[in-house]
Amino acid sequence: MNPEEFFEYAKKMKSKMMDLKFVDLLGTWQHCTFCIEDSVMDEKDFESGFGFDGSSIRGWQDIHKSDMMAVPDLSTICMDPFFAAPTISVIANIVDPITRDRYSRDPRYISQKGAQYLKDTGIADTMFIGPEPEFFIFDEVRFEQKQNKSMHEIDSVEGAWNTARFEEPNLGYKPSFKGGYFPVSPTDTLFDIRGEMVAEMQKVGIAIEKHHHEVATAGQTEIDMKYAELTKMCDQFMWYKYICKNIAKRYGKTVTFMPKPIFEDNGSGMHTHVSLWKAGEPLFAGDQYAGLSEMALYAAGGLLAHAAAILAFAAPTANSYHRLVPGFEAPVNLAISARNRSAGIRIPMYTGGPKSKRLEFRCPDPSANGYLAWTAMLMAIIDGINRKLDPGEPLDVDIYHMCSEDEKKVLKVPGSLAEALNALEADQEFLKAGNVITSDLIEGWLEYKRKYELDPLRLRPTPYEFYLYYDC
């Protein structure tokens, strides 16, 4: 679509407003809404862009270099589903107002560079991404952090802890801890909410495969998008979060993509399916282990070799590592396996067709910025293929039945965000190939995460520490 067609579309949709959205470093949408009038906006604005203060965006510009431009990508237009007045939504790319260069810390630019680098290598022309984001739908959340007080409390009508709550009447249909996988109503109370989320996603062009209740009590949910190419899926993931949160608000509920909000129950992961294609043909099907091609095995080798660094982007919060804990159901083992869900990479075996052959990287979670996490995965895959990295022996046994010596031989994911950030600092050259992820972005990411997340967490006692140590 060109600017002239944009104004025709606005007239057709009776829209007088354009909502311009862009993603910040950590993966949150920012927006500004502009009037669509001849006296305010013209076709040249779509080339030059719209100015904003880059120093007010997390992890971006210093104040002395704050001016930035958001340039609309008119291929992304659709009607925003949550504005009362008809409003056109457009995703923007970020440029420098003086040089007109694309901004190195714009996550969307990074995914676009990654997709182009894949083509430039000649290995493939497309990477398809199929994420499975999980999230919780709560009825209430309260939290507070002060010098003399810290607390959090969540609640859900579905919470297993509410079987004795006075609910006028309490009907008792509560998914038990770890008992929420696939129940029908009335235990599953969220079918209509999920259905409305799906309907709004479809309106903005997202193809949905399925939705269901997930394992945890208290409203854990999963909605699966059909696979798409890298940048398109990144854009869709932003819409996904935006729609889920706003539909929940319509119902007086709240959505969180926080990986581990509930103690002693399953956390929310984002198992990510990935495959490479060239000229319309799948490249990951073959006659090797689990029906994979040699290329796919090398791709898995790259993911496993760089997994710790990838998780600095793909499991990017301190809370992520309350989910990735050995001895539970989380995918902490850095190995491949057909069907074994405790392995870091699973090869789904539901169908045997070549087009369905893919790797499922199970370690990421939905707190991730998809533009960065999935591009980092792509760069590891390319490195694995180029260097013919062996993924090692498959983990086709129950990890809980292995002897301790054998179990120790299986490498594990980092145990904390600090470990993942240290791994990224030590292992970043594969990300820089083709100038896809720059030193500037990596340095900015490490600085932000350490200064604004790890250091503040280190300074604060937790309620459980009082439980353990107050009477020492």
pLDDT score recorded for residue 404: 64
pLDDT of the residue at 85 = 95
Alpha-carbon distances, residue 379 vs 23, 122, 428 (angstroms): 21, 14, 10
What is the per-residue pLDDT across 388-417, written as a single tens digit (0 to 9) for each?
A: 999 999 988 766 566 566 667 789 999 999
> What are the residue boundaries of the structural domains of the chain, listed by start?
16-103, 126-469
- The answer to whether the CB of 380 falls within 8 A of the CB of 390 is no
Query: Average pLDDT in the 6-33 region?
Result: 95
- Kindly tell me if the per-residue pLDDT of 331 is higher than 60: yes
Average pLDDT of span 91-115: 95
Question: What is the rounded average pLDDT of the residues 361-370?
Answer: 97
The reply to whether domains 16-103 and 126-469 share a CATH topology is no
- Average the pLDDT over 298-319 and give the result: 98
Chain centroid to Cα 162, Å, comes to: 31
313's enclosing H/E stretch is: helix 307-314
Q: HSE (CB half, 13 Å, CA atoms) of 314?
A: 30
pLDDT attached to residue 400: 58
Q: Give the separation between CA 176 and CA 172, rounded to whole angstroms.
A: 11
Share above pLDDT 90 across residues of the chain, in percent, rounded to a whole number: 86
**Amino acid letter for position 217:** T
Contact 6, 74 (CB under 8 A): yes
By CB atoms closer than 10 A (0-12, 13-18, 19+), residue 431 is buried
Residue type for 437, please?
I
Q: Where in the sequence numbering do the catalytic residues fall?
A: 53, 132, 134, 214, 222, 271, 341, 360, 362
What residues have CB less than 8 Å from 79, skipping those under 6 apart? 13, 15, 86, 87, 88, 89, 203, 204
Q: Strand 140-145 to strand 126-138: parallel, antiparallel, or no bridges (unpaired)?
A: unpaired
Residue at 403: amino acid letter: C
Q: Is the peptide bond before 131 cis (omega within 30 degrees of 0)?
A: no
CATH topology of domain 16-103: Ubiquitin-like (UB roll) (3.10.20)
What pLDDT sits at residue 399?
Answer: 62
Joined together, the tokens standing for residue 8 give 């025709």
Task: State the pLDDT at residue 38.
Answer: 72
Q: What angle do CA 300, 306, 311 make, to 5 degrees?
A: 105
Q: What is the pLDDT of residue 395?
A: 85
Average pLDDT, the chain: 94
- How confident is the model at residue 410, as a pLDDT? 83
Helices (H), 337-403: 370-387
53 contacts 66 by C-beta, under 8 angstroms: yes
Q: Which helix (H) or strand (E) holds 444?
A: helix 439-449
Nearest CA-CA partner of 377 in 133, 110, 119: 110
pLDDT tens per residue across span 215-234: 999 999 999 999 999 999 99
Q: Which of 243, 166, 241, 170 is nearest to 203 (CA)?
A: 243
CA distance 271 to 431: 21
Report the amino acid identity of residue 212: H
Under CATH, which architecture does the 126-469 domain have?
A: 2-Layer Sandwich (3.30)
Residue range 85-105: mean pLDDT, rounded: 95
